[in-house]
Amino acid sequence: MTEHDNISKRDIVLELKDLHKSFGDNHVLNGFNMQLFQGENLVIMGKSGSGKSVMIKCLVGLMEADSGTISLMHNDITKLDQEALDILRADIGFLFQGSALYDSMTVRENLEFPLRRHTKKFGEHIDTEIMVIEALENVGLASAIDLMPSELSGGMKRRVALARTLILQPKIILYDEPTSGLDPITAKEIIILMQDIQKKYGTSSLIITHDVDCARVISDRMILLIDGIDYAVGTYAELSASTDPKIKAFFKH
C-alpha cells in the first residue's frame, strides 16, 4: 500500500466541492475541488494569478464564493449560523501571504490579539503570558517578545506570524506562500518549523506555494490549480513524473 492510500483512508477535515468565483469576466475558479485529510500536508501549487489566494480567502470567509460547497469537519459552512461558524473558525489558523503583523504592536501584543478575539475557545481567565511565551518558544523566538515588527528580519517576522497562528491551537493551518520573499536558507528553516509543528500537534495543513523545493519536502499530496480547477492531484513523485506539458511546467527548474 502506498502512502497515498493510507492518507485517503483518514477523516476529511476540510473539503471544497465545485467552487466557482469570478470577478466580472475574470473566471478565476471554475469548479475547484479539494479534500484535506486529517494530519496531512496538502500542497496547492498554481501559477501567479491562478486563484490560490482567492481560494483560501473563500475558505476562511474573507471572500464569498459564487457557488460550490465548503465543508469544515463535515459541516457545510454556508449553512451555519454566525456563532457555530465562529466556533469552527477558531480551529483554523491562517498564515497570510507576507506576514501581516500589526506594525504598531509589539510581538507580545501581536500574539495576544488573537487570544482576545477567541475568548470562547479558551475562556476569559487564560494566562496569556504563558501562552505567548510557549508560542514564541515553538518558533525559537522567545527573546523577541518585546520587540516591534520593524526590529525583526523577514524570517523572524514569518516566525512571529507562525507563532500568532499557533497560539490559537488550530486543528488546521492554512499557509499562503509561507516561504515567499525569504532567502533559501531561511525558507528551509521555516519549512522545518512547519514540519516540527505538524509532528508536535498533529495539525492538518494546506500549504499554498510556488516553491517547488518546499512542495517536495513538505507535501504528502499535491493539487495543481490550473485553469481554475484541480487539474492534477497526486504525490510529488507522481506529479513530477507526469508527461503532461501543463504539469511538467511546474517541475522544470
Ligand X SMILES: Nc1ncnc2c1ncn2[C@@H]1O[C@H](COP(=O)(O)OP(=O)(O)OP(=O)(O)O)[C@@H](O)[C@H]1O
The residue range among 3-11, 12-20, 50-58, 136-144 that interacts with ligand X, by the rule CB under 6 A, is 50-58
Backbone angles phi, psi at 74, to 5 degrees: 70, 10
Nearer to ligand X, 145 or 233 (CB): 233
104-123 residues near Mg ion, rule: CB under 5 A: none
179-238 residues near ligand X, rule: CB under 6 A: 210
Q: Establish if 54 lies at the interface with ligand X (CB under 6 A).
A: yes
Q: Among residues 3, 6, 49, 248, which is the contact residue for ligand X, using CB under 6 A?
A: 49
What is the per-residue binding string for ligand X in 88-117, x denoting contact by CB under 6 A? ---------x--------------------
The residue range among 4-12, 52-60, 88-96, 143-151 that interacts with ligand X, by the rule CB under 6 A, is 52-60
Q: Is the dihedral of CA 195, 34, 223, 86 positive or negative?
A: negative
Partner interacting with residue 72 (select from ligand X, Mg ion, none; CB below 5-8 Å by kind): none
Helix, strand, coil percentages in the chain from 3-state DSSP, rounded to 5? 45, 25, 30
Q: Establish if 26 lies at the interface with ligand X (CB under 6 A).
A: yes
In the complex, the smallest distance separating the C-beta of residue 23 from ligand X, rounded to whole angstroms, is 4
Could you tell me which residues come within 8 angstroms of residue 250 by beta carbon, excluding any fewer than 6 positions away? 45, 212, 224, 239
Q: Which of 199, 205, 126, 206 is nearest to 167 (CA)?
A: 126
Rounded Cα distance, 173 and 204, in Å:
6
| CA atoms lying within 13 Å on the CB side of residue 43 | 26
- 8 A C-beta contact, residue 226 and residue 200: no
CB atoms closer than 10 angstroms to residue 145: 16
Burial degree of 20 (CB within 10 A; 0-12, 13-18, 19+): middle
The residue range among 41-49, 64-72, 120-128, 154-162 that interacts with ligand X, by the rule CB under 6 A, is 41-49
Q: Among residues 14, 16, 28, 152, which is the contact residue for ligand X, using CB under 6 A?
A: 28
Partner interacting with residue 164 (select from Mg ion, ligand X, none; CB below 5-8 Å by kind): none
Partner interacting with residue 46 (select from Mg ion, ligand X, none; CB below 5-8 Å by kind): ligand X
Count of chain residues binding ligand X (CB under 6 A): 13
The cell 500568532 sits on which residue?
164
20-79 residues near Mg ion, rule: CB under 5 A: 52-53
User: Which residues would be at the binding site for ligand X (CB under 6 A)?
Assistant: 23, 26, 28, 46, 48-54, 97, 210
